[in-house]
């Protein structure tokens, strides 16, 4: 591996990813963190349910509301969505951590992970996909687009970016406080880099900082 060099007087370690990071582990995922976990449930064209977590996940816009996740290849979730045009995002809390982690196993195609991992399910309303019964929030989505990503040299990567428009929202009433979703009270967990690091958000970690009025002009 050809490594980058840094100056002895440089306080910042710099590297070009194409030349290698020169560190024990790639720091990229630890720098872009914490990241929401896209716990994605789908069904294949035969109606067999699937659920799997994705660490490259986030909201992408709010008009219309849309979320996206990136799949490293045509894994079951991406393939199912391409077939049916539907998926659900299930909000992950500390309570769900072990179930979510177990659902990351690459089961044989067609395996019902809800049953295999013993995740309690319930039906969605606008899509024919089950969701996690006790998740504090669920977003029902219909496919907008699947983008096969290419690098800056035009070379095709293995990643597929799946973008879905939110067509239905479920919120556990226990976490609705004065009309607001009290997400911190759910104690959500998020990916924090490297192979097994996560962070948990607790109510005492929350603070409010409004944007300056000029930013709305």
Which candidate, 169, 181, 73, places its Cα nearest to that of 125?
169
Specify the higher pLDDT residue, 8 or 1: 8
Specify the higher pLDDT residue, 98 or 217: 98
Task: Give start-end residues of each CATH 2.30.110.10 domain in the chain.
Answer: 36-216
Least confident range from 12-21, 51-60, 137-146, 202-211: namely 202-211
| CATH for the stretch 36-216 | 2.30.110.10
Report the 10 Å Cβ neighbour count for 200: 14
* First CA to last CA distance, the chain: 49
Q: Is the pTM of this model over 0.75?
A: yes
* Averaged pLDDT, 124-129: 98
pLDDT digits (tens, 9 = 90+) for 67-82: 999 999 999 999 999 9
pLDDT digits (tens, 9 = 90+) for 161-185: 999 999 999 999 999 999 999 999 9
On average, the pLDDT of the chain sits at 93
Burial of 11 per CB tally in 10 Å (0-12, 13-18, 19+): exposed
């Amino acid at each position: 591996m050809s490594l980058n060099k840094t100056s002895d007087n440089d306080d910042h370690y710099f590297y070009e990813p194409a030349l290698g990071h020169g560190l024990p582990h790639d720091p990229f995922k630890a720098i872009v963190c914490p990241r929401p976990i896209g716990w994605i449930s789908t069904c294949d064209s035969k109606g067999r349910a699937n659920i799997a977590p994705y660490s490259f996940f986030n909201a992408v816009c709010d008009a219309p509301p849309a979320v996206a996740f990136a799949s490293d290849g045509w894994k079951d979730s991406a393939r199912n969505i391409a077939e049916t045009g539907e998926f659900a995002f299930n909000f992950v809390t500390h309570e769900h951590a072990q179930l979510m982690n177990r659902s990351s196993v690459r089961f044989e195609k067609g395996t019902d992970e809800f049953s295999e991992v013993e995740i309690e399910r319930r039906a969605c309303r606008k899509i024919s996909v089950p969701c996690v019964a006790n998740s504090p929030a669920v977003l029902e989505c219909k496919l907008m687009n699947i983008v096969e990503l290419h690098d800056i040299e035009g070379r095709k990567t293995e990643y597929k970016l799946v973008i879905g428009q939110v067509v239905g929202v479920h919120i556990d009433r226990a976490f609705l406080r004065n009309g607001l979703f009290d997400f911190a009270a759910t104690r959500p967990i998020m990916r924090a880099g490297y192979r097994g690091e996560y962070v948990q958000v607790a109510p005492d970690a929350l603070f409010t900082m409004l944007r300056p009025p000029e930013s709305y002009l």
